[in-house]
Amino acid sequence: FYPSQYEGEEQSPHVFYTGATPRQQALPAVDYLLDRGSRRFILAGTDGVYPRTTNAIVKAYLASRGVPDSQVMEFYAPFGERLWREPIERMAAFGARGNTAIVSTISGDANVHFLREYARQALSPVLLPVMTLSIGERELASLAGVPMGGHFACWSYFGAIDHPANHVFVNRWRNFKGANAALPNDAMEATLIGFAMWVAAVQRAGTTDPVAVRAAMADTTCDAPSGFTVRMDAVCQHLHKPAFVGRFDGAGAIVPVWASEGLVPPEPWSPWLKRAGEMRLAS
């Protein structure tokens, strides 16, 4: 059971994927920014497989939505990058024409230095918002003191979701941690869903034999803390799940501001990645 968001382009009979694919995270994030008026995009990521694959999908998708490559800037930094003055200056110059947003697949501690430099250069989330695909509740403690208010994140779950099922989930976690402010995150919800589905499949199969349990997992559903009833795809073994956009409130929380109307299909093999390859050949 794999509970983390990832770049897709994989399907194994030995794996059940409960984390989000780009179709369930990156593309809803881009749709939200487009709906807010963004027409220029900066795709900033750590130099790795997930950011590069996700951004190839995003660029092809943006082209289909009328945003050409000339309106998209890409930047990749080494893991753990601490020096962001020049990259932020370049992003600010690109975004100076307005209607620009940063979609961030920057991972790990580099986020601290990236966002500190963003604030040091007095950039505004009103004019140049960051939509992160890698920062959730778990990372907020590491970002204490870094101005985050007004930026956005897109996940399949937020700890601040106001739903009775989530209230139970959050309270159980706080009791376990002995901390009244503790919040679960996206990967934790995905892990819980995977375990609950495995239990249901074992009960249905009457055995823990992996072959029998795998067959019993097909189209298994689970009432998730998000408030949605999620479903395991019988063919690709990826989860059909919702998408949420949250806004950092500046006080250490991510407040949901948008949710998909229903479950978003996983689409592990992205048609936009094929389109990206065709666009490269054409150029």
Helical ranges in the chain per DSSP H: 26-35, 49-64, 85-95, 110-120, 137-140, 164-177, 186-205, 210-216, 271-282
Question: What confidence score (pLDDT) does residue 281 get?
Answer: 62
**Spatial distance between the Cα atoms of 139 and 67, rounded to a whole number of angstroms:** 31
Confidence label for 278 from pLDDT (cuts 50, 70 and 90): low
Q: What is the pLDDT of residues 260-275, one digit of tens each?
A: 999 999 999 999 987 7
Full-model pTM: 0.95
78 CB-near residues (< 8 Å, 6+ apart): 46, 47
Q: What is the pLDDT of residues 68-91, one digit of tens each?
A: 999 999 999 999 999 999 999 999
Confidence label for 198 from pLDDT (cuts 50, 70 and 90): very high
Distances (CA, A) of 48 to 7, 41, 76, 278: 11, 19, 8, 22
The separation between CA 78 and the C-alpha centre of its own chain, rounded to angstroms, equals 20
Phi, psi (rounded to 5 degrees) for 223: -80, 105
Question: What confidence score (pLDDT) does residue 280 get?
Answer: 63
Question: Count of CB atoms within 10 A of residue 157's CB?
Answer: 31
Confidence label for 277 from pLDDT (cuts 50, 70 and 90): low
